[in-house]
Amino acid sequence: MIRALYNLALFALAPLWVPYVLWRVALGSWRDRWAERFGAVSVPPPSGKPRVWIHCVSVGETLAAQPVVQHLRNLLPNYELVFSTTTPTGQQTALSALRDAVDYFVYFPLDVPFAVRRTLNRIQPRALVLFETELWLNLLTEQQRRGGRVLILNGRISDRTARRAPRVRFLYTAMLRRVDFICAQSPTDAARFIALGASPSRIEVCGNTKFDQALGALERTADEWRQTLSLPEGAPVLVVGSTRTPDEEQLVVDAYLRVRATLPDTCLVLAPRHLERVGEVERLLQVRGLTPYRRSQLPIQSSAHAQVVIVDTFGELASLYSVADVVVVGGAFAPLGGQNLFQPLAHGKPVFFGPHTHNFRDIAHMAKAAGVGFEVQTAEQLAEGILRLLHDPKLREQIAQQASELIRKHQGASARCAEIVEKWL
């Protein structure tokens, strides 16, 4: 009954979402392999080996899935792994990080009956593994009808969803009843899943797999990055990762200029979240009197140095944090939920962030409690905090030990999640 109403609503709202989908296919980011969005996935029929289908939305979920997929590859040598993403950046990340572990990469289909059936007919997964909160009623119903397992790993319910979901609890209950097991990130997330209709007997708090993934980006040293980016030897370095709006960048640049007034050698490495904004960020820096170099232009083939760098390359930020003395992570100075704090902490770096961290609430709370993460709201507060740390190398050494310990203490979620998948198979 609920599925019928759900599909009726999709049909009634088609004049709104169909033009959007067509626009994404014709002119937007869905042009690449667009037919897969409608179920024509580029996967051959099964050749005798059972399959597991793993799905993540975008970059963050894909990185969180990376250590789980590696464990599954070892635990399930006779299975084929199919990995899907919704966004092209997620697909690019998956192709780069998981090529050796995954057999097939596809785009996630629209949750309409014909697209879901076509995809499942081709993949025929023994288990459908969804990361975080990827719940789609048609997909879950079809997978259950075919006798396949449905598992949620790294499960989380955001603060926003927790506020809004009770209005449509009947829909969440219908979807969660089609889920065999949930590996929740925290007790808070487990309680929220149960409140929305999940069975308490089919949920376990396994931790956050991003603690495991964070330690996978430690391969390049600070000296290597300093040379690659042509940063002057001995100069303090501020790395700003994953900014998402001009207001965030203005705040960061204001703070940086205040820092530079006291420590004029301080370098800035700024990585906007979306690479299509690099030109916009470059113009903003130039208007403020700075001379930025793009990462793709470096190293400089001379004795000159770069003091301000914009990261315009894909997939390097997690490793690049190693060159920082202090890190600022964007996405939280505006009400956007924050971005990944795990990676700089794994490098032992002190991290500043804004007040809007609802998508990373647990790690933000842990970082503040451990004295390795610092919430600020203004450029003045940010500059003051950065200067305090740059003037106190002993405090930075202490934070480095505490941050690395925080990450290591919470490792192991990936292995637990993979073992649960194996058990249900």
CATH number of the CATH domain containing 101: 3.40.50.11720
- Taking the CB of residue 323, how many other CB atoms lie within 10 A of it? 24
Q: In whole angstroms, what is the distance from residue 249 CA to residue 285 CA?
A: 9
Does residue 254 share a domain with residue 120?
no
Please tell me the distance from the alpha carbon of residue 112 to that of residue 173, in angstroms, as a whole number. 19
Which H helix or E strand runs over 310? strand 308-310
User: How many domains, the chain?
Assistant: 2
In a domain, 204, yes or no: yes
186 and 291 in one domain? no
Query: What CATH number should be reported for the domain holding residue 295?
Result: 3.40.50.2000
CB 312 within 8 A of CB 292: no
Residue 137 sits in the same domain as residue 234: no
- Cβ atoms of 172 and 197 within 8 Å: the answer is yes
Are both 255 and 190 inside the same structural domain? no
Nearest to 148 by CA among 103, 182, 180: 180
Exposure class string for 382-421: b at 16+ Cβ within 10 A, else e: bbebbbebbeeeeebeebbebbbebbeebbebbbbbbebb
> If you search the block for the tokens 């869905």, which residue do you land on?
30
Do 273 and 377 lie in one domain? The reply is yes
Separation CA 310–CA 142 (nearest Å): 46
Establish if 250 belongs to a structural domain. Answer: yes
CA–CA gap between residue 238 and residue 270 (Å, rounded): 8
The sheet carrying 51-56 orders its strands as 104-107, 80-85, 51-56, 127-131, 149-155, 181-184, 203-205
For 146, the token pair is 């075919």
- State whether 102 and 247 are in the same domain: no
Q: Is residue 110 part of a domain?
A: yes
Q: What would the two tokens of residue 172 be?
A: 């969440």
pLDDT attached to residue 256 = 98
Q: How far is CA 195 from CA 114, 141, 163, 399, in A?
A: 31, 21, 12, 38
* Per-residue model confidence (pLDDT) at position 422: 97
Q: What does the alpha-carbon distance between residue 208 and residue 188 come to, in Å, rounded to a whole number?
A: 12
Looking at the structure, do residues 298 and 242 belong to the same domain, yes or no?
yes
Q: Are residues 38 and 178 in the same domain?
A: yes
One domain, residues 280 and 265: yes
Residues acting as catalytic residues: 61
The answer to the question of residue 374 being in a domain is yes
Q: Is there a domain that residue 392 lies in?
A: yes
CB under 8 Å to 13, separation ≥6 — which residues?
A: none
Spatial distance between the Cα atoms of 93 and 59, rounded to a whole number of angstroms: 6
Tell whether 335 and 397 lie within a shared domain.
yes
The confidence score (pLDDT) of residue 355 equals 96
* 18, part of any domain: no
pLDDT in tens, the chain (425 residues): 899 999 999 999 999 999 999 999 998 889 999 999 999 999 999 888 999 999 999 988 999 999 999 999 999 999 999 999 999 999 999 999 999 999 999 999 999 999 999 999 999 999 999 999 999 999 999 999 999 999 999 999 988 899 999 999 999 999 999 999 999 999 999 999 999 999 999 999 999 999 998 876 666 789 999 999 999 999 999 999 999 999 999 999 999 999 999 999 999 999 999 999 999 999 999 999 999 999 999 999 888 899 999 999 988 999 999 999 999 999 999 999 999 999 999 999 999 999 999 889 899 999 999 999 999 999 999 999 999 999 999 999 999 999 999 999 999 999 999 999 999 99
Are residue 280 and residue 338 in the same domain, yes or no?
A: yes
Structure tokens at 165: 């979901």
What does the pLDDT read at residue 370?
A: 97
Rounded to an integer, what distance in angstroms lies between the CA atom of residue 228 and that of residue 301? 11
Pairing, β 181-184 against β 104-107: unpaired
Q: What type of residue is 355?
A: P
Q: How high is the pLDDT of residue 196?
A: 96
Residues 271 and 162 in one domain: no
Instruction: Kindly state whether residue 82 falls inside one of the protein's structural domains.
Output: yes
* 213 lies in some domain: no
Residue 8, amino acid: L
Question: Which domain covers residue 305, as residue numbers?
Answer: 218-409
Q: What is the pLDDT of residue 317?
A: 93
